[in-house]
């Protein structure tokens, strides 16, 4: 089977996806009989390219990895159209699946939201790693996908390849999730750890940025918007609706001082940026995002600076603890590929 893919966003995650696909293409073809063909790629500054016969990832990826622009791609003996806007690429590329990995606006979810709507409306499957549209418009987008007979998958929106979305979505049909609690933002986790090592808040931010842990808009991480969006996605799945994010108390790490960290450490306490939500007897969920001082007995106390974790407490099975790496473009790209395969590899 030939599957045509359009990629929106050729940043860290987009490149991670292309690297994974290039590495695994032969294996996927022999294991599942699927040949994935990249027919379109769009970037904001770098423009866009469409080729009905397929773009050469082995030629495009080095350009992107060297901070080059898509316009530099000069394929030999290939029909290739450059410079269309994103909507035109979605329409004209004949892609079966649109992979979306662009940044999100926390107020609107745009422009990704409109691109996803367009692709689903054109009966194309959509795989995204972008938290904005999934946290803000879950019900609409899942319904739109259903109405058009296509899939809308978003396993890459959190925990970088740890299959938490799949588990929350599919594994508790005969059980009831009562509570979720976790550390879902690696930047905050890293900065708090750096402060324990003696760095100031600003120095911690600088290191986190240098290591590529911070979103392009750092306030998403530091003010708790990223953690909030991830918690809302989990609650959207658990409630099968759009969970009202304004009902969740949100606090970031912007107020923490080295003195707070030091005083905590003197008492054997460690600060972590936590998300949490619990379901009351009447079925209502209450959630919060913010700093917590943890005792050594807490399962998250020793969570490594670069890792994420989620504790799922269910009525019948009890406590399930999932932990995995919190960052890395190759892993995030792998999450996109994994969702892609769950559409086609049966
Ligand atoms: N990095 C991670 O580890 C990770 C993990 C999971 C999920 N995510 C999510 O994945 C998404 C992408 O993250 P990233 O780290 O890859 O970000 P990034 O490196 O900043 O890349 C974002 C890409 O989107 C492009 N873009 C922005 N606006 C666009 C538009 N209107 N039309 C077309 N392209 C547009 C940017 O183009 P220009 O470069 O030209 O501006 C850039 O290539 C974000 O939503 C992020 O939250 C990231």
Ligand 1 within 6 A of CB of 48: no
Residue located nearest, by CA, to atom 41 of ligand 1: 44
Q: What is the pTM of this model?
A: 0.96
Does the beta carbon of 155 lie inside 6 Å of ligand 1? no
Nearest CA to ligand 1 atom 8: 129
- Expressed in angstroms and rounded, the spacing between residue 130 Cα and the centre of ligand 1 is 8
11 Cβ inside 6 Å of ligand 1: yes
Q: Is 182 in the pocket of ligand 1 (CB under 6 A)?
A: no
Spacing, Cα 12 to ligand 1 middle (Å): 7
Separation of alpha carbons 214 and 205, rounded Å: 8
Write the DSSP symbol of residue 161.
G
Please give the radius of gyration of the chain, using alpha carbons only, rounded to the nearest integer.
21
Does the CB atom of residue 129 touch ligand 1 within 6 A?
yes
pLDDT recorded at residue 75: 78
Read off the pLDDT of each residue in 231-243 and give the average, rounded to a whole number.
97
Neighbours of 65 (CB within 10 A): 11
Per-residue model confidence (pLDDT) at position 261 = 98
φ, ψ for residue 74, nearest 5 deg: -125, 85
Question: Given the DSSP bridges, would you call strands 270-279 and 319-325 parallel, antiparallel or unpaired?
Answer: unpaired
The CA distance from 56 to 50, in Å, is: 11
- Looking at the DSSP bridge assignments, the partners of residue 273 are 291
Query: Ligand 1 mean position to 329 CA, how many Å?
Result: 11
pLDDT digits (tens, 9 = 90+) for 247-306: 999 999 999 999 999 999 999 999 999 999 999 999 999 999 999 999 999 999 999 999
**In the numeric block, which tokens belong to residue 253?**
């790490």
Q: How far is the CA of 84 from the centre of ligand 1 (A)?
A: 19
For residue 326, what pLDDT band results from cuts at 50, 70 and 90? Answer: confident
Residue 156: CB within 6 Å of ligand 1?
yes
Cβ–ligand 1 contact at 130 (below 6 Å): yes
End-to-end, the C-alpha distance of the chain in Å comes to 12
Q: Per residue, what are the HEC states of 100-139?
A: ECCCCCCCCCCCHHHHHHHHHHCCCEEEECCHHHHHHCHH
d(CA 215, CA 2): 34
The torsion of the CA quartet 194, 196, 197, 198, rounded to 10 degrees, works out to 100
- Answer yes or no: is pLDDT of 71 > 90: no
pLDDT for 105 beyond 90? no
* Integer Cα distance of 327 and 344 in angstroms: 26
């Amino acid at each position: 089977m030939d599957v045509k893919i359009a990629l929106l966003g050729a940043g860290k995650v987009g490149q991670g996806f292309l690297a994974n696909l290039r590495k695994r293409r032969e294996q996927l073809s022999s294991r599942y009989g699927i040949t994935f063909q990249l027919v379109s790629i769009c970037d904001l500054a770098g423009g866009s390219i469409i080729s009905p016969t397929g773009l050469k990832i082995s030629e495009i990826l080095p350009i992107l990895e060297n901070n080059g622009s898509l316009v530099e791609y000069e394929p030999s003996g290939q029909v290739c159209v450059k410079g269309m806007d994103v909507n035109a690429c979605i329409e004209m590329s004949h892609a079966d699946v649109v992979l979306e990995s662009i940044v999100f606006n926390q107020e609107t979810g745009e422009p990704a939201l409109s691109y996803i709507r367009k692709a689903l409306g054109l009966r194309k499957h959509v795989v995204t790693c972008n938290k904005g549209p999934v946290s803000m418009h879950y019900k609409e987008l899942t319904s739109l996908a259903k109405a058009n007979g296509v899939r809308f998958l978003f396993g890459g929106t959190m925990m970088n390849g740890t299959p938490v979305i799949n588990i929350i979505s599919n594994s508790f049909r005969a059980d009831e999730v009562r509570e979720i609690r976790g550390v879902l933002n690696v930047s905050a986790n890293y900065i708090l750890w750096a402060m324990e090592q003696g760095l100031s808040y600003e120095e911690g931010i600088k290191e986190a940025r240098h290591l590529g842990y911070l979103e392009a808009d750092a306030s998403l991480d530091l003010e708790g918007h990223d953690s909030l969006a991830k918690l809302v996605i989990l609650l959207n799945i658990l409630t099968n609706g759009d969970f009202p994010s304004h009902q969740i108390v949100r606090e970031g790490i912007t107020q923490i001082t080295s003195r707070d960290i030091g005083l905590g450490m003197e008492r054997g306490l460690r600060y972590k940026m936590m998300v949490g939500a619990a379901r009351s007897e009447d079925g209502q969920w209450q959630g919060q995002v913010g700093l917590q001082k943890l005792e050594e007995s807490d399962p998250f106390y020793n969570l490594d600076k670069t890792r994420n974790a989620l504790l799922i407490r269910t009525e019948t099975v009890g406590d399930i603890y999932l932990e995995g790496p919190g960052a890395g473009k190759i892993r995030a790209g792998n999450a996109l590929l994994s969702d892609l395969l769950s559409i086609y590899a049966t």
